[in-house]
Structure 1
Amino acid sequence: MGVYLGNYCYVMIIVLVLGKEVRSQSLKNGYYSSSCPRAESIVRSTVESHFDSDPTISPGLLRLHFHDCFVQGCDGSVLIKGKKAEQAALANGGLRGFEVIDDAKAQLELECPGVVSCADILALAARDAVDLSSGPSWRVPTGRKDGRISLASEASNLPSPFDSVAVQKQKFEAKGLDAHDLVTLLGAHTIGQTDCLFFRYRLYNYTVTGNSDPTIRSSRLFILPTETHQNVLLLTLAVHQNSM
Structure 2
Amino acid sequence: MGRGYNLLFVLVTFLVLVAAVTAQGNRGSNSGGGRRPHVGFYGNRCRNVESIVRSVVQSHVRSIPANAPGILRMHFHDCFVHGCDGSVLLAGNTSERTAVPNRSLRGFEVIEEAKARLEKACPRTVSCADILTLAARDAVVLTGGQRWEVPLGRLDGRISQASDVNLP
- TM-score, length basis structure 2: 0.87
User: Over alpha carbons, which structure has the higher Rg?
Assistant: 1
1:105 aligns with 2:115: yes
What CA RMSD, in Å, does the superposition of the two structures yield over aligned residues?
2.0
Structure 2 unaligned blocks of 5 or more: none
Partner of 2:54: 44
Residues 54-93 of structure 1: pairs in structure 2 closer than 5 A: 54-93=64-103
Greater share of residues in helix: 2
User: In 1, distance between residues paired with 2:95 and 2:118?
Assistant: 25
Partner of 1:17: 19
Contact 1:118/1:146 (<8 A) preserved:
yes
Shift of the alpha carbon at 1:6? 7.9
- TM-score, length basis structure 1: 0.61
Partner of 2:6: 4
Q: 1:81 to 1:141 in 2, by over 3 A?
A: same
Residues 189-204 of structure 1: pairs in structure 2 closer than 5 A: none
Contact 1:60/1:95 (<8 A) preserved:
yes
Shift of the alpha carbon at 1:116? 0.2
Deviating runs (4+, > 2 A) in structure 1? 5-15, 20-25
Q: Percent of counterpart pairs with the same letter? A: 51
1:146 aligns with 2:162: no
Structure 1 unaligned blocks of 5 or more: 158-170, 172-244
Residues paired across the two proteins, number:
158
